[in-house]
Amino acid sequence: MSPLSLRTLNRTYLDRQLLLDRAGLSPLDAVRHLMGLQGQEPDAPYVGLWARLADFRHDGLTALLHDRSAVRAKLQRNTQHLVDAQDFRTLHPLLAPVLGKARQGAFGRAIQGLDTDDLVRAGRELMSGDGLTRPQLGRALAARFPGRDSLALAYAVQSLVAHVHPPPSGVWGRRGATPLVLAEEWLGGPMARRPRIDEVILRYLAAYGPAAVRDIQAWCGLTRLREVVDGMRSRLRVYHDAAGRELFDVPGAALADPDRPAPVRFLPRFDNLVLGHADRTRVIDDEDRRRVIIGSEVSPVFLVDGFVRGIWSWRDGTVEVTPFRPLAPDEAAAVREEAGGLLGFLRGPDGTGATGRRATAATGAVLIG
């Protein structure tokens, strides 16, 4: 079989990320398909779903948070995600080694010598019921473990105890303190006892494949998955890219036509599309990646012909578009049209933007730099 071209990988990835045609899925089905949406920025999942779904409205996601069908919590790569509640029960115990890195890393020395079981019991007791914010949790823990740094104690408990951030955390346009509540209490059930990594890998490939082992590892934060994937070979389709790297996929999953048109799309900060692989060249070249990903920050991007072409921002009612290279006239027209739709969405259902400030017709605009 011929190697998969870059454009084949690009169009296939866009298709599976629901970015070639806006899908008719419900918000919950989309969140399930994508195995969660990056949620460091509370409003980002809303913009991510707007880019992917037909007729998506803000309250479609807000309702999921309030009825506990979806939750916001730390998961893949120890970062905030908005994820289906049932998936959280599987992903949290599976990713426990990744989530525990905070305790072993920056705050390891600060809690050295403490009995982990005692710390977990105290944390669970304190977060039970209405829950606490991180500063409140830290102060309460410091009272029980005198002489220890309160922030280190709070972070350690967060890394050890399954918890979620209930609304209004994660709700469109809401800012403020982020509460921590016990996941089992919020969801009304326990975490999965024996999560299946192979099932998670199959679902990852359905939304992100074809992908290499190191791509799977970059997405979830787990390591040493080569043996797991090798054990799944009889259940996988195997391809190679132009560089000869081995790529795995779900059997029967279609590859997209490399010549299929790809519409302009605007994506939020930290979007899955940019962070879903170790090798990100299927959507962004290395030079542009260095402009988009700076330290721990990932800028909001827009796509032209399927690839990242620049970044954008939302300030004072204006969508400011900054291309990395000049846009052709037809490209500029398509960018302006899609940015106009984004502008309407960012104003929100009540005419206020994500910051809660009302965007007026006088200030609402699209500016292409």
DSSP 163-178: EEB-TTTTSTT--S--
**What does the pLDDT average to over 39-67?**
97
Q: What span, in angstroms and rounded, lies between the C-alpha atoms of 200 and 146?
A: 41
DSSP 19-83: -SS-B---HHHHHHHTT-EE-SSTTHHHHHHHHHBTT--HHHHHHHHHTTSEEEEE-GGG-EEEE
Local confidence band at 316 (pLDDT 50, 70, 90 cut-offs): confident
> If you search the block for the tokens 């082992």, which residue do you land on?
213
**187-209 pLDDT, tens per residue?**
999 999 888 999 999 999 999 99
3-class SS of residue 217: helix
**Mean pLDDT of the region 303-324:** 96
Strand bridging mode 365-368 / 37-38: unpaired
- Compute the average pLDDT of residues 306-325: 96
Does residue 349 register a pLDDT over 90?
A: no
Amino acid code (one letter) for 18: L
Distance of CA 176 to the CA centre of its chain: 20
pLDDT of residue 1: 76
Q: Which residues contact 199 (CB under 8 A, 6 or more apart)?
A: 90
pTM over 0.85: yes
Rounded to whole angstroms, how far apart are CA atoms 297 and 289?
11
Q: What is the mean pLDDT of residues 237-254?
A: 96
Contact between residue 76 and residue 46 where contact means Cβ atoms under 8 Å apart: no
What is residue 334's three-state secondary structure? Answer: helix
pLDDT at 359: 41
Show the tokens assigned to 57. Answer: 């409205």
Name every residue whose Cβ is closer than 8 Å to that of residue 137 and which is 6 or more positions away in sequence: 123, 126, 127, 153, 154, 157, 158, 180
Per-residue pLDDT tens for 150-196? 999 999 999 899 999 999 999 999 877 889 999 999 999 999 988 89
* HSE-up (13 A, CA, CB side) for residue 209: 26
**Predicted confidence (pLDDT) at residue 341 exceeds the cutoff of 60:** yes
Confidence of residue 350 (pLDDT cuts 50, 70, 90): low
CA distance 250 to 103: 35
Q: What is the pLDDT of residues 110-122, one digit of tens each?
A: 788 889 899 999 9
Which of 97-106, 140-149, 198-207, 278-287 shows the lowest mean pLDDT across its residues? 97-106
User: Once rounded to an integer, what is the mean pLDDT over residues 336-346?
Assistant: 96
List strand residue ranges (DSSP E) for the chain, in order: 37-38, 70-74, 80-84, 132-133, 163-164, 179-182, 237-240, 246-249, 265-267, 293-294, 297-298, 301-304, 307-315, 318-323, 365-368
